[in-house]
Amino acid sequence: MIIEAKATLPKRKPTDLLVLLLDKEHELSQTDDAALAPLLEQLAWDYGKGRIKREYFSASPSEVARHVLVQHTSLVKPYELAEKVKILAARALEQARDLDLAQVTFLLNGKDAPEFLGAVAEGVALGGYRFDKYRREKDRFGERARITLRVAGAGLKECRANLDRTVLISECANDARQLVNEPGAAVYPEVIADLAREIGREHGLEVSVLDENGLRKAKHAGLLCVGSGSIHPPRLISLEYRPARPSKVRLALVGKGITFDTGGISLKPGDRMLEMKGDMAGSAAVLYAMKAIARLRPDINVLGVIPTAENMPDARAQRPGDIFVPRNGKSVQVDNTDAEGRLVLIDGFERAGEWQATHIVDIATLTGAVVRALGPGYAGIMGNDSNLTRALIDSGRSQGEMLWELPLPEEYREFLKTPYADVNNVGGSYAGAITAGLFLQEFVPEGAAWAHLDIAGPFLSGKAWKYYQAGASGFGLKTFVELCRRFSSGIPQ
């Protein structure tokens, strides 16, 4: 799919589908075309009065378009305006696909349109993604589609720069979605390590990978214990980005990478276990965020850390009641082998501490409890630094990735006590998302600002949601790229 920005709307070269966007308070599309201007004025009035309940579509005798689609933001109620624009853009593309209209033009020449050009591009890019690798009938529309964003000529240069950034980030998000959508037989720790090496070579990142021998030598016990039941050995992967100018900020992004999670000996129910191919969604977000970061070159140091393993029941697998000692010397009892993500994140934190990270953000499909608390549209966030937490919440909101802060009450640490070790890996029946965060806090390197994102709700959907088709969303990647942009302007206070 080609997405480009151009000035003015040419006559006598009609596009297959012309899309116009209306809003009650913002001018997004405007035209002086003799056929379209009266129609647009009438529709704006009708939408404003609530007389029309869906988009307007018509074959057009106009010189500029063979078909016209007019959408109004009132058709999408519960979101902020930029999210509404993304959703409408994705819907427009879907209609073009259904009617095989490969040349689609969005008229974005209104005075307020430049602010929302990126939203249109993002809605199209993310909405156009399909996971059809294993289907005999492929979706070929995306290969033929040419999307043109027609803008006012005065702001064309700035619009094109915004478009290039948005398309890059969206393509990286789609890469992450592709990886999460792959079956567990196709993606395992060695595969993620190979992808990291490839991204590092192509984009100038320094990549290191610890195999099982390296993990033993470095005493990374969490990964070794979780991965002990699998034929695919664990890996600890690091991708480092260094800015052109020195920076005091050293941001570590740590992504849980359980490539398939059966629960281990504490076996999960079989119903929907296939979704556990996505238990590495955090690692996919980090991996492809690093690709985007390498291309966009923010002015901070960034380390992507991916502790990755497969959690399988085997004669060699860890058992409930087993105890291991991570590198920081704090012993862990494994009460439930299905609470494995927090165990591998210990090793990711140790790698971040070794790198002397000033800020650490981990992202993980960690608990069903967060889904029960917040549902599928929000991720939970916890942390030890209010400035970092607020920066992540604000970054996420600006990208349509919603984060809701949960507390880390000191008194709940009692739930993690066991007579047999320093800390238990689960905290009982109550506050599962919070006790998971408290467990992780035990292993955060001293002095580092830290935040934990539990994305078990929005990482995957069984049906279309907003501008995503059913499947993986790539949740977290856009937030991370935006966080790096904001850090480039100074540490949040």
Residue 27 near residue 111 (C-beta atoms within 8 A): yes
pLDDT value at position 376?
A: 97
Q: CA 456 from chain center: how many Å?
A: 12
Q: Is 268 part of the annotated catalytic residue set?
A: yes
Task: Please tell me which residue in 66, 130, 165, 268 is annotated as part of the active site.
Answer: 268
Angle at 376 between CA 370 and CA 380, to 5 degrees: 35
The reported pLDDT for the residue numbered 345 is 98
Please name which of 182, 315, 318, 211 lies closest in space to residue 263, comparing C-alpha atoms: 318
Residues in contact with 126: Cβ distance below 8 Å, sequence separation at least 6, in sequence order: 86, 90, 170, 173, 174, 467, 468
Q: Is 130 a catalytic residue?
A: no
- For residue 439, which of 421, 461, 458, 456 has the smallest C-alpha distance? 421
Ordered mean pLDDT values, 10 residues apiece, the chain (493 residues):
86 88 95 86 93 92 87 94 98 97 95 94 97 93 94 84 96 98 98 98 98 97 98 98 95 98 97 95 98 98 98 97 96 98 98 98 98 97 98 98 98 97 96 98 98 98 95 98 93 70
Question: What does the alpha-carbon distance between residue 41 and residue 200 come to, in Å, rounded to a whole number?
Answer: 52
- Considering 86, 342, 351, 466, which one is annotated as catalytic? 342
Q: Enter the tokens of residue 4.
A: 């480009």
Position 63 scores a pLDDT of 80
Q: What angle do CA 83, 89, 94 make, to 5 degrees?
A: 130
C-beta neighbour count of 196 within 10 angstroms: 26
Q: What pLDDT score was predicted for residue 493?
A: 64
How much is the pLDDT for 77? 86
The pLDDT of residue 154 is 74
Cα gap 321→300, rounded to integer Å: 42
Contact present, 116 and 85 (Cβ < 8 Å): yes
- Tokens matching residue 42: 């009438």
Q: What's the rounded Cα separation, in Å, for the pair 26 and 52?
A: 19
Say which residues have a Cβ less than 8 Å from residue 383's Cβ, sequence separation at least 6: 389, 408, 449, 450, 451, 452
